[in-house]
Chain A
Amino acid sequence: MARKHKRNIVPFGPQHPVLPEPIHLDLVLDDEKVVGVIPSVGFIHRGLEGLVDKRDFKEMVYVAERTCGICSFQHGMGYCEAVEQIMNIEVPPRAKYLRTIWGETSRLHSHLLWLGLMADAFGFESLFYQCWRIREKILDLIELSTGGRVIFSVNQIGGVLKDMDAEMLKHFLDVLAEVETEVHEIQKTFMLDYTVQSRTVGVGVMTKRQIHACGSVGPFARASGFKVDMRKLGYEAYPDLDFEPVISNDGDCYARCDVRIREIFQSIDLIRQAAAKIPDSELAAKVKGNPDGECFARIEQPRGEAIYYVRGTGKKFVNRMRIRTPTFANLPGLCEMLKNADYADVPLMILTIDPCISCTER
């Protein structure tokens, strides 16, 4: 007698212990295998892009920063870049280097946060807290140099608001050396431990072709062999720094974890390079007039490529600001990855795209 297959629809989210932010997925299950996914967002939609009518283009930096708590500095930086390109403002060199240093520090804290959540996803709570303990050192550095732990508020159109003197930079590098030793220790656990490997190796494999068809970006794409990193476009101080995109060829959850840990070491190296080469100049260029024109600016956020579209019409209120965040681009990839997955592996797979839903919905 042929076995009758029964399909169930199980709702996942919006509240789930593994998710940092709410997203709802309807999983179509056939026994214990997922055969389809219907994502549904909208729990954290604040309509920030509608505030362009009420806040002038200089105040929109503060609004753009508050799109997300984890990637906040890079959002402010991307918006400033787009407006600066429209108005042809030349940012002074020291401001570019400072933005790069803060941007890489932001990437460090985001990846460490993700590593902790990943450990929590397969139940390894001690490792989760160890990663976040290391992250506290980075947050203290950020508070020391900018004034806030999560929302930096140091970007302005034309440059930055605060400076870092030589003593503060030296303190930065000392703390980062400690962080590097500690991350080497936890790297051993993530990469070599038997329990971690049995949960992550071979789980959620995405081939290079699938990644290209879904249009995925960031470490999610780089773990499948896609050698793309927007920092190669040469914005801010990146033309003067030496680096190559970190890739892996396996395409499973283990490879994504590996790529992000190696990116932590790459970021520390980039900060060291930038701190050695930082020039002296003023902190911000003067801004006159209103933006008139449009621009697409691309930057590499911790989660992937983010595109900032700003359309100005000569008034002090910008007509349109649109942020296309990396998680929005990775949603189709997520749906593709979850097909033919085991139900028990679903939370871990969702976490490996590094979902930042508040960025997705703004």
Chain B
Amino acid sequence: MAVIIKKEPEQKTITIAELLPEVIAIRKRGMRVCQICAAWVNEQFELSYTFANDGNYLLLTLRVVIDKDVEVPSITPIYPSAVFYENEMKELFGVKVENISMDYKDKFYRIEEKTPFGPESEDE
């Protein structure tokens, strides 16, 4: 029988101010960034930053709930590989992410409509 490593995913809700310190602490623990995702729920953006530890298969999610025009600092200075996730979030949802290391300025997906999944187009 294979040895199965079962770990329940953990989730933590934090504020924007705590985001960068938490991410630095996670980087020190040696985890890698898995995905960054945005959802428009209840008139607010719910950002989920997911990190994984490959030694014990732990999945840790940081949840940041913000309003529409709040600026979010980029985590690319800490995790350079997060650049594509943040560009996607900015382009498709209109989340204002600041200081991305390689900012494609809305040309990552080359789409015609601005922020198609974002709040303005939801009203149409």
A and B touch in the complex (CB under 8 A): yes
In the complex, the answer to whether A307 meets B41 with C-beta atoms within 8 Å is no
A214 contacts across to B, CB distance below 8 A: 81
| Chain-B contact segment, one of A42-50, A54-62, A125-133, A167-175 | A42-50
Q: Is A260 an interface residue (CB 8 A)?
A: no
A230 contacts across to B, CB distance below 8 A: 57
B6 contacts across to A, CB distance below 8 A: 233-234
Question: What's the Cα separation between A49 and B30 when bound, in Å?
Answer: 31
B109 contacts across to A, CB distance below 8 A: 41-42, 45, 361
Question: What's the Cα separation between A281 and B48 when bound, in Å?
Answer: 38
**Range, interface on chain A:** 35 or more
Q: Closest A-chain residue to B36, C-beta based? A: A324
In the complex, the answer to whether B34 meets A329 with C-beta atoms within 8 Å is yes
Query: Chain B: how many interface residues by the 8 Å CB criterion?
Result: 40
In the complex, the answer to whether B2 meets A309 with C-beta atoms within 8 Å is no
B33 contacts across to A, CB distance below 8 A: 215
Minimum distance in angstroms from A277 CB to a CB of chain B: 11
In the complex, the answer to whether B34 meets A239 with C-beta atoms within 8 Å is no
In the complex, the answer to whether B48 meets A313 with C-beta atoms within 8 Å is no
Minimum distance in angstroms from B21 CB to a CB of chain A: 20
A313 and B4 contact, Cβ closer than 8 Å, known pairs A40-B108, A215-B32, A296-B61? no
Q: Is B23 an interface residue (CB 8 A)?
A: no
Minimum distance in angstroms from B50 CB to a CB of chain A: 6
In the complex, the answer to whether B5 meets A213 with C-beta atoms within 8 Å is no
Q: Is A317 an interface residue (CB 8 A)?
A: no
Question: What's the Cα separation between A49 and B4 when bound, in Å?
Answer: 32
A296 and B81 contact, Cβ closer than 8 Å, known pairs A238-B4, A309-B48, A313-B41? no
Q: Is B54 an interface residue (CB 8 A)?
A: yes
Q: Closest A-chain residue to B110, C-beta based? A: A42
In the complex, the answer to whether A332 meets B80 with C-beta atoms within 8 Å is yes
Minimum distance in angstroms from A325 CB to a CB of chain B: 10
Q: Mark A301-312, 1 if CB is under 8 A from B, else 0.
A: 000010101010
Minimum distance in angstroms from B62 CB to a CB of chain A: 12
Minimum distance in angstroms from A267 CB to a CB of chain B: 15
How many A-B residue contacts, CB cutoff 8 Å?
101
In the complex, the answer to whether A45 meets B111 with C-beta atoms within 8 Å is yes
Question: What's the Cα separation between A329 and B57 when bound, in Å?
Answer: 17
Q: Mark B1-22, 1 if CB is under 8 A from A, else 0.
A: 1111111010000000000000
In the complex, the answer to whether A239 meets B50 with C-beta atoms within 8 Å is no
Q: Closest A-chain residue to B35, C-beta based? A: A324
Question: What's the Cα separation between A73 and B106 when bound, in Å?
Answer: 32
Question: What's the Cα separation between A240 and B4 when bound, in Å?
Answer: 9
Q: Mark B107-124, 1 if CB is under 8 A from A, else 0.
A: 111110000110000000
Question: What's the Cα separation between A244 and B1 when bound, in Å?
Answer: 11
In the complex, the answer to whether B41 meets A296 with C-beta atoms within 8 Å is no
Q: Is A228 an interface residue (CB 8 A)?
A: yes
Q: Closest A-chain residue to B9, C-beta based? A: A296
B80 contacts across to A, CB distance below 8 A: 213, 332
Q: Closest A-chain residue to B91, C-beta based? A: A42
Question: What's the Cα separation between A167 and B33 when bound, in Å?
Answer: 45
A sample of 12 cross-chain residue pairs with beta-carbon separation below 8 angstroms, ordered by A number, consists of: A40-B104, A42-B110, A42-B111, A47-B117, A50-B117, A232-B3, A233-B5, A298-B59, A309-B37, A319-B39, A320-B41, A324-B34
Interface residues of A (CB under 8 A from B): 38, 40-43, 45, 47, 49-50, 212-215, 226, 228, 230, 232-234, 238-244, 296, 298, 305, 307, 309, 311, 313, 319-320, 322, 324, 328-329, 331-333, 361
